[in-house]
Amino acid sequence: MSPFKSRDFSSGFTLVELMIVLILIGLLSSVVAVSVSSGLFKSRERRFVEDFRAAMKRARNVAIGTGRAVNFVIDGKERRFGIKGRKGLSDIPKAIEVSAEGILELKDGLFGITFYPDGSSSGGSIDLTWDSGRKDAFEIGMIWASIQHEITNQ
């Protein structure tokens, strides 16, 4: 008698079982793909908001460092933002609606906050509302030009 048992090949997987396994793998991979793409979008949101805030802080620092007033601008027509007079204004994504209160209108469609060499600013508030419902609210103080940021989901 042999120590090995003979294998019964009739007890393999059926076509139905293989199809069920393939369907489950497909469903799980689609769930993973959706969660990864959602994470990438949130990462883009965070990166844009950080760039927006950093540009305002940079404008304040340039004003203090150079001893002259510097404007942080938002171009409503071109959908761009940055420091006026510097190269490389950044684009505002189409998924964002920008609204502001207490911000100076420098020209037609060009809005800005002026940062002064003494560390103060013209002040105001800027709201970035995303298609996803996220809202980033920036409050820029007049005396110390502090930049407060608050995130809300509507």
DSSP string spanning 46-67? HHHHHHHHHHHHHHHHHHHHHT
Q: Decide: 134 and 153 in contact? Cβ < 8 Å.
A: yes
CA angle 90, 53, 101 (to 5 degrees): 95
CATH code reported for the domain at 49-153: 3.55.40.10
Reading the chain (154 residues) residue by residue, the pLDDT tens digits are 556 665 555 677 788 888 888 888 888 888 777 776 655 556 777 899 999 999 999 999 999 999 999 999 999 899 999 998 888 789 999 989 999 999 989 888 899 999 999 999 999 999 999 988 889 999 999 998 899 999 887 5
Where do the domains of the chain lie? 49-153
Q: Which of 102, 64, 114, 72 is nearest to 90 (CA)?
A: 72
CA angle 107, 113, 116 (to 5 degrees): 120
Give the pTM.
0.71
